[in-house]
Amino acid sequence: MLIGGEWIEPGGRSTFPTYDPATGKVIAELIEATPADVDAAVRAATGAFGAWADLVPAERARLLLRVADLVEQHADELARLETTDQGQPLAISGGFSIPMVVNQFRYHAGWATKLTGITVDVSVPDVDYRTRREPLGVCGLITPWNFPIMLLAFKLAPALATGNTVVIKPAEQTSLSTLRLAELCLEAGIPAGVVNVVTGGVGKALVDHPGVAKISFTGSTEVGREIGASTGRALKRVSLELGGKAPSVVAADADIDAAVAGNLMGGLLNSGQVCAAYTRFYVARPRADEFVDKLAAGASSQVLGHGLAETTQLGPLVSEEQVALVDGYVRLGEQEGATLVTGGSRAEGDGYFYRPTVFTDVADSMRIAREEIFGPVLSVIPYEDDDELELIARANDTDYGLAAVIWSGEVKVANRLARRIRAGSVYINMPPLLDAAAAWGGFKASGLGRENGWDAIEAFTEVKSIWTAL
């Protein structure tokens, strides 16, 4: 753990293991933090807040750029660490996650010197009125296990750029890259106490701490509801990026080969452990059989293996518990009457591997079509091509609203559907991509607020009005 610029050693304290999900073997023991540790971290962040917030913006920008440079210099090390701890193939950790961390820090470093207020001619005589954006204070950043370092950067970079200090609570399954990033922050020159990390199951203690001004959480909708309730009672600021059940609409005029390739990427990225994973495939009935055949062939051909192996296309699930959860949904799908086309079982050997699974004959009411599985399970649901309104209603018939995709050769149709589908991000003829400048977040039970771009700056600042008698 890192508190006030000091690394806390385990000593005789309680620890918990973190595993390599590709082998099931323990790779490290980490400290099980206590509420007292959370209190110490919040006090350290509080003590560092004044000086950090008062630091001239150009200096904060310089330090964030230095963090970006160090991440880039250690990119291979960080990618291997992320792959070993989380399981995602190097093509993802090295080609997507770590470059995104670099981009987040460079992008938000630019915002540090560009925060502005406004002046308004108010209808009060002899008064000057203006606003300014100010940091919130101590922010609790609670991150998930599927993209640990990348999703931390979504929060950490804008929080620091706007002058906040932070206490980070990474997921217990995948804490190693977070600790290494915190180490690089210190090496970059970010002052002690600005960035603190507590490990273990102390998320509730951080959420409930009276010294925390804001919670930014990415994770399950179930936990997000509890955090929302707690922060609501305390009137704390909160951002929640939660679950999803993204519909993928494949129109009759779609390029099926492109749709299959894009849906395999969007549905199986990180072994389906993605909140925006394409999981419900609404395919125009005349093209459904062709789509199912090609999707199943592509899914069954995926090469499973350790993420460090160059040939690996699909890594393991994050834990034994996640394997059991995914397999439980697969068995449930069979019980509810869906037809299993391929996959549907754990892969032989060590580690937490699960075969990519494709179902057809899926009804909208089935749990595999309604609940977030967070694994490599894809459901194909035909629709009648001439009933656009029914299609939209079915795509929107979900508690979630994080992402959606439309595959069509007709631009007007695709954009008309995009406007009517209730999701925070809608992609047209492409897999789900992200960018530091593009707002990210969901409708309905997929969360509150947005990350990235100007939305992230607003999320970590408050507006102050200043009135001056003339």
* Cα dihedral 422, 462, 221, 244 in deg (nearest 10): 30
CA-to-CA separations, 57 to 67, 111, 161, 463, in angstroms, rounded: 15, 9, 8, 17
> Edge-to-edge, what's the strand order for the sheet holding 138-142?
6-7, 2-3, 195-197, 165-169, 138-142, 214-218, 237-241, 447-448
Cα distance between residue 304 and residue 344, in whole Å: 14
| Region of residue 13 (left: phi > 0; alpha: psi -120 to 50; beta: else) | beta
* Torsions phi, psi for 165 (to 5 deg): -110, 160
Q: How far apart are CA 301 and CA 304, in angstroms?
A: 9
| Type of residue found at 226 | E
Residue at 68: amino acid letter = A
Give the SS3 label for residue 243.
coil
Question: 340 forms bridges with which residues in the sheet?
Answer: 359
Tokens of 285: 């009935």
- Is 159 within 8 Å of 216 (Cβ atoms)? yes
Catalytic residues: 241, 275
Q: How long, in residues, is the chain?
A: 470
**Terminal Cα-to-Cα distance of the chain (whole angstroms):** 52
